[in-house]
Structure 1
Amino acid sequence: MLMSAGRPARLHYMANQFRLLASGDHVICAASGERIPLDELRYWSVARQEPYASAELATRAMVTVA
């Protein structure tokens, strides 16, 4: 995967994977603002197209909507 050091990537989040739309080496957590390296990204919302730094943050974001 082609990555640009220091630049945030733009991704399309799908059920079991994500697609790189614009090269970068990280994304920003939608809940905490924390920088998440792409190789450590494990949690996201397909419906909202948002990444999360942890399972706890992802769960909290989904619960606040319901």
Structure 2
Amino acid sequence: MNRMEFPGGGGEAQIRYLDGDFKIVRPGSYVRCAISSRPILIQDLKYWSVERQEAYVDADAALEAYRRHNKL
């Protein structure tokens, strides 16, 4: 399964983040940002960490996660 097989579905999705793509493990319409806890619609998901298996709402949140993880 990939992101196109579940176009909606309500509720929070569970996702496995891969390099350049992701796999939906449990269908839903959104995931939560690991930094802000804001919901991110699946169709708007652009930033995530494969290593930490977390999603980020935007580039700033992804940078903050990188800084926290790498203590910069």
Runs of 4+ in structure 1 off by over 2 angstroms are none
User: Partner of 1:22 in structure 2?
Assistant: 26
Counterparts of 2:50 and 2:34 in 1: how far apart (Å)?
Answer: 13
* Structure 2: gaps (5+ residues): none
Please give the root-mean-square deviation of Cα atoms over the aligned residues, in Å: 0.8
Q: Please, what TM-score do these two structures have when normalized by structure 1?
A: 0.93
Compute the TM-score of the two structures, normalised by the length of structure 2: 0.86
> Equivalent residue of 2:52, what SS?
coil
Q: May I ask how many residue pairs the two structures share in their alignment? A: 65
Q: Pick from 49, 54, 61 the counterpart of residue 58 of structure 2.
A: 54
Aligned amino acid, residue 12 of structure 1: R
Instruction: List runs of 5+ in structure 1 lacking aligned partners.
Output: none
Give the percent of matched residue pairs that are identical in Structure 1 and Structure 2.
32
